[in-house]
Structure 1
Amino acid sequence: MIAHAAPESHATPGEGPSAAMPELVDPVAVARLYGEPLFALPQDLYIPPDALEVFLEAFEGPLDLLLYLIRKQNFNILDIPMAAVTRQYLAYVEEIRSRNLELAAEYLLMAAMLIEIKSRMLLPRPVTSDTEEVEDPRAELVRRLLEYERIKLAASRIDALPLLGRDVLRAQVAIEQALAPRLPDVRTADLQQAWQEILRRARLVQRHQITREELSVREHMSLVLRRLQGKRFVEFGELFDPHKGAPVLVVTFIAILELARESLIEITQAQAFAPIWVRLAYTPS
């Protein structure tokens, strides 16, 4: 750093020493930050130039860009002013070509088509008969733009529909349902064994008395139903009275079978080799 000597100055009466000192400017400072000299650029705040690029519009292709330029300026798509649209289109293509040559390739093809259409419009139209109509050079481009716009609008409507995972979530609720216990079916062999046990008990208390007695199955069916009234379950053996003899037991057994056949009672068993239970059949209200 080269120091320069300050010239002598004579202070006038009433002025302090600070007024006599000249303002020193450091020639090495590259900038001033809040009034303080900055002697070197900060290395930790370096931002590459590419990071400052901002793309205000993103287009999906040449047709998307062309349709954007037409709709933005309210041009009639059936009567496109080719000069204005081509000029704006080429300005955008030149901008993206300086940054991404691969992306600009497909845009350049559309630019060539626009220039061709504009050139055909400048040329005199061929002489034809009065009945034959010359097609507008912009007709094919207009058809492509209208078709693309319809597809784009349909895609936007589809995208606006609620999407699972983006707009809505599937509600999942775990519900514990208590299943009614399923009782095993009573096998014929189990029912036969239970009946044989009833007969064995009846022989132990039987009396040697010969009588003639008329027994009604329907009457005993009613008796069994009355025994089951107001009770949840009744053990199979409790429906028989061994003291009344074997004929009554037989009729009672037939009455139980008849009630089961008519679905008026249910014969269940909690598990294999467990006692057999009888109850009234469930009738939904």
Structure 2
Amino acid sequence: MPLAVIHGQPVLQIPQDLYIPPDALEVILEAFEGPLDLLLYLIRRQNLDILDIPVADITRQYVEYIQAMHEMRFELAADYLVMAAMLAEIKSRMLLPRAPNDEGVEEDPRADLVRRLQEYERFKKAAEDIDALPRQDRDTAPVQAFVPDRASIRLPPPVDLKEMLLALHDVFKRAELYTQHAIKRDALSVRQRMGELLTRMADGAFHRFESLFTVEEGRLGVVVTFLGLLTLAKEQLVEIVQEGPLQPIYVKSLALMKDPDEIELSSEFDEAANDDPSA
């Protein structure tokens, strides 16, 4: 089987004059990225103290490792050979007497190597921590999604007449407390009460249904106020809303949105009372 096919011609053997530049190939020994990485691996594998490195054993293991490269080009492992030479120098310096420094303490030949190993270990750990962080286009990918405008207008639910009668019943119970204090009965007009209610709600805000009644007027005053509210609702001059069953009832005036000249207050209840004096 030919090694390659060039211009249609098969190549059966490697050319003798083929030249491969030394920098054309990068050799990564196992999982090590350099001589310091290999040296740190040998130290950690044997649980050695980085501050007290047995130079003789480490040097022997290091040299055995790079001897496995004897079939490769030595220029590709120059950094490893430099480190082996440095270990050998440190070993020889430890065998020779060491002169004390200015402070009278003998300098450890391993001090510079230990400093470089500690610094390399810190940067290696920092690089591993950064690589573990989520990275865009590697761990995540940006996406876009179109979300339509779903703004909705929530309309208040209609108020059931039963709910208003229940609220009226509570007002009646409070009004009964003042019935015994009534001395005389004043003639009350539903139309007049309608005008008073619109005046009280002239601020345009929602008012509690119960707050529009004056319990001191007794049952008659409560009934007149209730009839006035029903008439205003019929004429679309007030808005009555409730959030849900058994929830408070609120009343709001709609007269502010209309021309005052177009508002004419009248009540069929007043006309019935005038026709029938006994009513």
The TM-score bracket by the shorter chain reads 0.3 to 0.5
Q: TM-score if structure 2 supplies the norm length? A: 0.43
Higher RCO, Cα 8 Å, sep 6+: 2
* Larger-Rg structure: 1
Q: TM-score if structure 1 supplies the norm length? A: 0.42
